[in-house]
A and B are shown apart, each in its own frame.
Chain A
């Protein structure tokens, strides 16, 4: 299957700082990328849908000014958690769709964020 990478895999930051997470599609072009958050023993919750070259579409309840998403190229999307708080500690996972025709969605390995 297609490969999606995320960096970093784990990050610890202090409350009030910002953290950037990168999501890359390594062997295909992804016109659409998705960002999810997963709390322990919970399912994936979609945060936003990101299309290359346009503004992200955020799910209800997700603050767009707090979770900044940039999808500047067909292989890279970034999520920046601004002014992070301990309650933002979670597992953040991105996924990418294979171009316009494909329906399969491939996930990155996830980034564990801990805010102290």
Chain B
């Protein structure tokens, strides 16, 4: 079993839809959780960063962490065609220089 599982998609939704992206993980030591957005042929861009369980909201984006279920989510409200990209979840055990462990990424297309 991989440490981080993420459905690669592709996921196609109409403009304005609510998008739900998810990752599961097996290592209960993970404490820091991130979501990155990566456009084609570009580097990943940090979208959300959360520590431990709970919700965090930033504009149209909401990140949720459920450590009891080892499950994290990213919700995108009022999705736009410009949201079309690959979304990668990432996590690490502790602070400092511990490497990030990435999911495979979910490819999202928002259709106008």
Contacts and interface: CB of A to CB of B under 8 A. Distances in A.
B44 to A, nearest CB: 5
B46 A32 contact: no
Contacts of B99: 34, 46, 49, 59
A109 B102 contact: no
Label chain A's interface by main secondary structure: strand
A33 B95 CA distance: 15
Nearest to B104: A43
Interface stretch (A61-69, A73-81, A97-105): A97-105
Contacts, number: 53
Interface in A20-53: 32, 34, 41-44, 46, 49, 51
Interface in B3-62: 8, 32, 34, 36, 41-46, 49, 51
A44 B49 contact: no
Interface of B: 8, 32, 34, 36, 41-46, 49, 51, 88, 92, 95, 97, 99-100, 102-105
7 contacts: A4-B43, A34-B99, A44-B44, A46-B100, A51-B97, A104-B46, A107-B46
